[in-house]
Amino acid sequence: MSNSPRVDEISPPELKSLLERGEVRLLDVRQPEEFDLVRLPGALLVPLDELPERLDEIREFFSDPKLKRVVYCRVGGRSALAIAWLNECGVGGLYNLAGGIRLYAEVVEPTLPTY
């Protein structure tokens, strides 16, 4: 059982569809070296430990109400923590990528590198 907070999730196939339609904003909360290995198109990198100092930037990034707001990490734990914290700060309507970028690569984009 995980210690991650309960958050709304989006499946990898759902995210792929949103990406294809340009209807999503992605926040990546991994570390820069992970982001350099593999990332999803258009993602904003804000490592988990930088969330407090970059809160205004994140609010602006997620300001378009027409776009789905998705947060991801490698497998979903850090992104769940980020969503819980952002919700406490008044940034709502966030979805966690189920299984993180690792499951996305496995299910949707097998050509993406995994680690």
Question: Which of the residues 18, 40, 73, 98 is marked catalytic?
Answer: 73
pLDDT band at 6 (very low <50, low <70, confident <90, very high): confident
**Does the pLDDT value for residue 65 go beyond 70?**
yes
pTM for this prediction: 0.94
Beta strand residue intervals within 1-115, DSSP E: 9-10, 24-28, 44-45, 68-72, 94-97
User: Tens of pLDDT along 16-26?
Assistant: 999 999 999 99
User: What pLDDT is stored for residue 4 in this prediction?
Assistant: 61
Residues in the chain: 115
Into which CATH architecture does domain 9-107 fall? 3-Layer(aba) Sandwich (3.40)
Q: Is 89 a catalytic residue?
A: no
End-to-end CA distance of the chain: 22
Provide the residue ranges of all domains of the chain, joining segments of one domain with +: 9-107
The yes-or-no verdict on residue 3 having pLDDT over 80 is no
Distance separating alpha carbons of residues 91 and 72, to the nearest angstrom: 15
